[in-house]
Chains A and B, each alone.
Chain A
Amino acid sequence: MINRNINFTNICEQHCSFCAFRRDAGDADAYWLDRDTIITKAADAVARRATEICMQGGLNPEAKLNGSSLDYYRAIVVELKQAFPQLHLHAFSPQEVEFIAREDGLSFAAVVEALAEAGVDSLPGTAAEVLDDEVRRVICPEKLNAATWIEVVETALRLGVPTTSTMLCGHIETPEQQIRHFDRVRSLQQRAIERDYPARISEFILLPFIGEQAPAPLRKRVGRDQPVLADTLRLTAVARLFFGSAIVNHQPSWVKLGLDGAIDALRWGCNDIGGTLMEEHITSMAGAKGGTCQSPADLVAAIGSIDRPARQRTTLYGSLTAQPQS
């Protein structure tokens, strides 16, 4: 998939113990993109044949329009969609939805509905980390809890907004907690199917922990800076078998595993290599070695190196007739 990441601010009210990206307002390297810059980045992405903008940011309490967080987020979306109606906008994690709802005193449904009406096409299933509150109390104590993550995603699916799903693995979590996470995501998808919600979880992405630039306490506790590929591949394979027909699309993270590791994951249950990203900050700032962008040609060549056919896709796994070029 040809897509672009836009992380519109690194100013964040939370202090997750795995995050090297967040800054306080006033820090020398804090940033907050204005709407013109966001549009310029999107225009560049369109010129490079992107079909998706993936947009997420820190939780910045100052990011308001007319005193409203929702109005601020909605204004970005409306402006992007007016300029580039053909782009799929994959934007705002369940944590951001919870943040907007909390700031403005709204229900999750009201926030999701308003964002979708403005032009959000799907939500990234990030901020799931491990859906186990014992783990969350250590790695992300200020984040929404597991039940709330599930509630926000279920709300989105019920309202017809597809999501992805993720798990941050390879830190302090146990195999039991990994499987509990899988089970909660699978149960959520099965509820969406049984209740005939108009949207589904489109894919599952394993996100191995990168510790190199992570805050010291967690880095020290985990005891290594880069993922263990063997562990990630085994978890990838088990995830593929565990989700079965409930979630059939599985994507590795080339940013975290490197392109070679991600290609290896295609032999272990993944059927997708992810997007070009064009710019990746959050994981790279944590010390990931996989790079910050890939060209379509490099992705196609890497997929071909293990004799798999490459096919460019849309965000929701539809086909695109044009073949990716360089």
Chain B
Amino acid sequence: MMRSLQTLDDLQLRLDRVIAPDAILSPEEALFLLRKPTPRRSQPFATLPIACDNTSSAIPSPT
């Protein structure tokens, strides 16, 4: 599995294909994926902060 997961695109592809019950990673495999330098994917990530659709922009009073 590790060889096929070189970029976030690959990781996304894997998720699209699998979402499989047997897709359990070992701690070593998971760490391998997290330690890799953040690769760029084909589309840029959204920029935060993100405008929100909801109508309540203020934090409501809890009381």
Chain A interface residues (CB < 8 Å from chain B): 7, 10, 31, 33, 37, 175-176, 178-180, 182-183, 226-227, 229-231, 233-235, 237-238, 240-246, 248, 254, 257-261, 264, 267-269, 271, 279-281, 284-285, 289-295, 298, 301-302
Q: Could you tell me which residues of chain B, from 37 to 59, have a CB within 8 Å of some CB in chain A?
A: 38, 45-46, 48-59
| B50 A37 Cβ-Cβ under 8 A | no
**CB pairs A–B below 8 angstroms (20 shown):** A31-B62, A175-B31, A178-B34, A179-B27, A226-B48, A226-B49, A229-B45, A233-B8, A241-B14, A241-B15, A245-B22, A258-B48, A258-B51, A258-B52, A269-B15, A290-B52, A292-B56, A292-B58, A298-B53, A302-B53
A281 CB contact (under 8 Å) in B30, B46, B62? B62
| With A258-B52, A267-B12, A292-B56 as contacts: A279 and B62 at CB distance below 8 Å | yes
Q: Which residues of B contact A237 (CB under 8 A)?
A: 8, 11-12, 14-15, 33
B38 CB contact (under 8 Å) in A37, A230, A293? A230
The residue in chain B whose Cβ has the minimal distance to the Cβ of A287 is B49
Q: Which residues of A contact B53 (CB under 8 A)?
A: 259, 291, 294, 298, 301-302
Cα separation A160 to B61 with both chains bound (whole Å) = 35
| With A230-B45, A233-B8, A264-B45 as contacts: A244 and B24 at CB distance below 8 Å | yes
| B23 A229 Cβ-Cβ under 8 A | no
| B34 A279 Cβ-Cβ under 8 A | no
| A238 B33 Cβ-Cβ under 8 A | yes
Q: Which residues of B contact A301 (CB under 8 A)?
A: 53
Cα separation A245 to B30 with both chains bound (whole Å) = 16
| B52 A235 Cβ-Cβ under 8 A | no
| A261 B62 Cβ-Cβ under 8 A | no
Q: Which residues of B contact A284 (CB under 8 A)?
A: 59
Q: Is the interface of A mostly helix, strand, loop or mixed?
A: helix
The residue in chain B whose Cβ has the minimal distance to the Cβ of A41 is B62
Other contacts beyond A241-B30, A260-B51: 17, CB < 8 A? A180-B27, A227-B48, A229-B48, A233-B45, A237-B12, A237-B14, A238-B11, A244-B25, A245-B22, A257-B48, A259-B53, A267-B15, A280-B59, A289-B48, A291-B54, A291-B56, A293-B60
The residue in chain B whose Cβ has the minimal distance to the Cβ of A297 is B53
Cα separation A240 to B25 with both chains bound (whole Å) = 9
The residue in chain A whose Cβ has the minimal distance to the Cβ of B36 is A234
A289 CB contact (under 8 Å) in B11, B12, B52? B52
Q: Is B35 an interface residue (CB 8 A)?
A: yes
How many Å from the CB of A274 to the closest CB on chain B?
13
B38, B54, B63 interface centre (most CB from chain A within 10 Å):
B54
| With A241-B15, A257-B50, A261-B50 as contacts: A183 and B27 at CB distance below 8 Å | yes
| A264 B46 Cβ-Cβ under 8 A | yes
| With A244-B23, A261-B50, A293-B56 as contacts: A31 and B63 at CB distance below 8 Å | yes
The residue in chain A whose Cβ has the minimal distance to the Cβ of B18 is A241
| B48 A231 Cβ-Cβ under 8 A | no
| B24 A245 Cβ-Cβ under 8 A | yes
How many Å from the CB of B25 to the closest CB on chain A?
5
| B21 A245 Cβ-Cβ under 8 A | yes
How many Å from the CB of A200 to the closest CB on chain B?
14
| A234 B15 Cβ-Cβ under 8 A | no
What are the nearest 10 A-B pairs in CB distance? A258-B50, A244-B24, A289-B49, A245-B21, A291-B52, A175-B34, A291-B54, A260-B50, A284-B59, A242-B25
